[in-house]
Amino acid sequence: MTAQIIDGKAIAQQVREQVAAEVAKRIAAGKPKPTLATVLVGDRVDSATYVASKQKACAELGMGSVSHHLPADVSQEELEKLIKKLNASKKIHGILVQLPLPAHLNEERVLSLISIEKDVDGFSPINIGRLAQKGREPLFVPCTPYGCIYLLEQAGVPIEGAHAVVLGRSNIVGMPAALLLIGKNATVTVCHSRTRDLPAVVRQADILIAAIGKANFVRGDWIKPGAAVIDVGINSVPDATKKSGHRLVGDVHFEEAKEVAGWITPVPGGVGPMTIAMLMKNTLRAAELQDK
C-alpha cells in the first residue's frame, strides 16, 4: 500500500486565502484590520525566525502586526507590564508570546495574564482548561494541534471512534492534540519517554500524531496498515548531497511509513505550514470577537 500524501502546503494556502478574503471584506466594511502583537524575548535564532514568519503572514493576508522584541534579561515585571498594555490596546486583537521564554521568567504567569479574547495561541490556562472539559468551548485552540486536526478532517480521515496515539505530551502540541481528539470522540493514548514497548502501542493507532522531536524515530513496521500519520517533527539531519549540508526530516521514517500508512504528512510541507495558517485564522477570529 502507498499512502495518500496529505499536502499541508496546499491546505494551508487554502486557509490563508479564506482568511485573506474575510479580512478584505472586513476592511471594505470599515471594520478594524485584525492585528497581531508578537512578543519575542531574547535572541534565540529559531524563535526570531518563527516570529518573522508570523509577521510576514499577517502582511500577506492584509492583517496588521506589531512586533515587540525584549532583551533576554528583561524582568518579569517589565514583560507583564507589556502584556497588560497590549491587553488594554484597542488596536491589538491577538497577542502571541513566542515560547520558550528565558528560564528566569515565569511562563505560566505570563500566559495567564493574556486576556482570553486575545489569546490567539490558545495557551492561557482558561482556554486550555475549557479544551480539557466536556461541554466547554475554548475561544482559541493552539495552532499546531488545530492544524493537525484540520489536516485529518480535510483528508477525510474518520476520527470518531478511532484509536489515536499521540507521541509526546508537550503543552504546545501533544497534550492539546490529545484533548482535541478526545473532543472529537477518538479513543486517545498519550505516549512519552517512559512509555513501555512504544512500537506495540503505536501499532494500535488508527491515527498517529508524532511530536517528540526525534529524527526518523517511528519506523515503518510500527505503523498499522491504513493508519493516518501526522508528523509534527521538524528535525535537521546531515545530508552531504545538499548545498546547506543538511535537510529536514520528521519524527516518522517517511519512506518506510508511506508504504504502510493510509495517509501521511510529509516533512517539510505537512504540518509546518498549518501552524501559521491557523494562527492567522485565530487572529481573524479574535478581531471578529472584539467587534461585538
Cα separation of 41 and 48, whole Å?
9
Query: In angstroms, rounded to a whole number, what is the distance separating the alpha carbons of residues 96 and 164?
Result: 29
Residue 35 found at the interface with ligand GUN (CB under 6 A): no
> Does 98 interact with ligand GUN (rule: CB under 6 A)?
yes
Number of residues interacting with ligand GUN: please give it, by CB under 6 A. Answer: 9
x/- mask, ligand GUN, residues 234-263, rule CB under 6 A, reads ------------------------------
Find the binding residues for ligand GUN in span 172-231 (CB under 6 A): 172
Residue 152 contacts residue 195 (beta carbons within 8 Å): no
91 is catalytic: no
Single out the residue of 275, 277, 282, 286 in contact with ligand GUN (rule: CB under 6 A).
275
* Options 55, 119, 121, 231, the catalytic residue: 121
| Catalytic status, residue 18 | no
Short-list 122, 139, 232, CA closest to 176:
122
User: Which strands, in side-by-side order, build the sheet including 35-41?
Assistant: 64-70, 35-41, 94-97
121 is a site residue for ligand GUN (CB under 6 A): yes
End-to-end CA separation in angstroms for the chain: 51
Our CB check for ligand GUN shows the closer of 58 and 223 to be: 58
Cα dist. 220→187, 204, 247, 258, 264 in Å? 22, 13, 20, 8, 12
User: Is 286 among the residues that bind ligand GUN (CB under 6 A)?
Assistant: no
Cβ 73 to ligand GUN shortest distance, Å = 20
Establish if 114 lies at the interface with ligand GUN (CB under 6 A). no
- The span from the CA of 253 to the CA of 127, in Å, is 34
Shortest Å distance, C-beta 82 to ligand GUN? 15
Q: For residue 40, give the nearest of 81, 86, 79 by alpha carbon.
A: 79
Whether the link from the prior residue into 145 is cis, omega within 30° of 0, is: no
264 contributes a contact to ligand GUN by CB under 6 A: no
Stretch that binds ligand GUN, among 95-103, 177-185, 226-234, 264-272 (CB under 6 A): 95-103
Rounded CA separation 265/228 (Å): 9
Question: Considering only 57-65, 94-102, 106-114, 254-262, which stretch makes contact with ligand GUN by CB under 6 A?
Answer: 94-102
Task: Look at residues 257, 254, 255, 238 and name the one whose alpha carbon lies nearest to residue 246.
Answer: 238
Question: Does residue 96 belong to the site contacting ligand GUN (CB under 6 A)?
Answer: yes
CA pair distance 39, 37, nearest whole angstrom: 7
- Give yes or no for residue 6 binding ligand GUN (CB under 6 A): no
Q: Which residue has the closest beta carbon to ligand GUN? A: 99
Rounded Cα distance, 9 and 97, in Å = 25
Active-site annotation holds for 214: no
Q: Which of 98, 224, 251, 281 is catalytic?
A: 98
Active site positions, annotated: 54, 98, 121
Q: Which residues bind ligand GUN (CB under 6 A)?
A: 96-99, 121, 143-144, 172, 275
